[in-house]
Amino acid sequence: MQKRKLGKSNLEVSALGLGCMGMSFSYGPPKDKKEMTSVLHAAVDRGITFFDTAEVYGPYLNEELVGEALAPYHGKVVIATKFGWKIDPKAERGLAGLDSRPEHIKEVAEASLKRLRVDAIDLYYQHRVDPEVSIEDVAGAVKDLIQQGKVKHFGMSEAAAKTIRRAHRVQPVTAVQSEYSLWYRNPEKEVLPTLEELGIGFVPYSPLGKGFLTGKIDESTSFDSTDFRNQLPRFTPEARKANQALVDLLGQIAQRKKATPAQIALAWLLAQKPWIVPIPGTTKLNRLEENVGAVAVELTPDDLGDIEDAASKVTVQGARYPEHIEQMSNR
């Protein structure tokens, strides 16, 4: 497995990480703990050293799973988690609004440390920017945690370029995590140029378009009633039918490269910048193998040009999130 550095920081991770959310949250009911533990161990065996979780995935279940499964590999893996939500088990999906008050950040950091079974959180992201708390105060709280040895690196998720700049002045930001893939390219406008200028790494989540870019989902696919894709405008049957053109394009390139559509989608991200580390999630061993195989797929400048040309002719249909969720991004 190749390694990459997240920006100018000294945080070196595998070129591909593993997003762990779907093991406990969002994509149907929580999966079997024993099975997920074996997937996490298999990821380490295949050279993955970068694992992504959050207190809200479950809530709490995912951090507990990741903490227990990766305990034997302390010092060999990097675990990223996130803060910034008010958690209420009675609320929908456990989320009762944002809370990035400094005292709250410090309190939940202690709880995450226990669940993850670590002495320090390797990478601590603000999950969403809280408009009620100045970003300078948030960065200052994480700076305090870093000085106390409880956190090693500060990250932000779905933040706007100007907010990243303000935070970075108080406490250098190691990585920004946002959705980015061939079917959601907004970070290219302002975020990626800002990260390049400041020397910050980029961690694309949903690099396979929440499963759509694998080619295994079509307009007739039905999801479990608890799967959050049921609520996404981009996953209505009509949108899926319209968006199939993008998957067909990946399929054509994949045939030429003797790869799969998912591998082309991941290889495309890896080819964008050397400081980009995608974190595809999976609960299946065969998908893990397939994703890891993407690191070996080399896209030539001609391949990338062909993908760009073809993708520019496809207009992706449907918003990625309902309006109330989308409003939490890019601020």
Beta strands 173-179 and 201-205 are parallel
What is the chain's alpha carbon radius of gyration, rounded to the nearest angstrom?
19
Q: What residues make up the domain containing 242?
A: 3-326
Residues in the chain predicted with pLDDT less than 50, given as ranges, are none
Grouping H, G, I as helix, E, B as strand and the rest as coil, residue 242 is helix
Cα–Cα distance measured from residue 140 to residue 84, given in angstroms and rounded to the nearest whole number = 14
57 is catalytic: yes
Q: Does residue 236 lie in a domain region?
A: yes
Number of residues that make up the chain: 331
For residue range 69-103, list pLDDT tens digits in order: 999 999 999 999 999 999 987 777 777 899 999 99
331 lies in a domain?
Answer: no
Residue 230 lies in a domain: yes
Catalytic residue among 57, 180, 184, 205: 57
CA 215, CA 304: separation in Å to the nearest integer?
A: 19
Rounded to the nearest 5°, which phi and psi values hold at 36? Answer: -65, -35
pLDDT at 252: 93
**Going by C-beta distance under 8 Å and a sequence separation of 6 or more, which residues neighbour residue 324?**
none
pLDDT of amino acid 90: 79
pLDDT at residue 28, as a whole number: 83
pLDDT tens-place string over residues 236-273? 999 999 999 999 999 999 999 999 999 999 999 999 99
In a domain, 154, yes or no: yes
What six digits make up the tokens of 209?
């378009």
Residue 247 forms part of a structural domain: yes
- Residue listed under structure tokens 């039905």: 222
The CATH code of the domain that includes 96 is 3.20.20.100
pLDDT number for residue 257: 95
Number of domains in the chain: 1
Residue keyed to tokens 């951090």: 63
What single-letter amino acid sits at 253? I
Q: What are φ and ψ of residue 318, in 5° steps? A: 95, 140
Does residue 196 lie within any of the structural domains?
yes
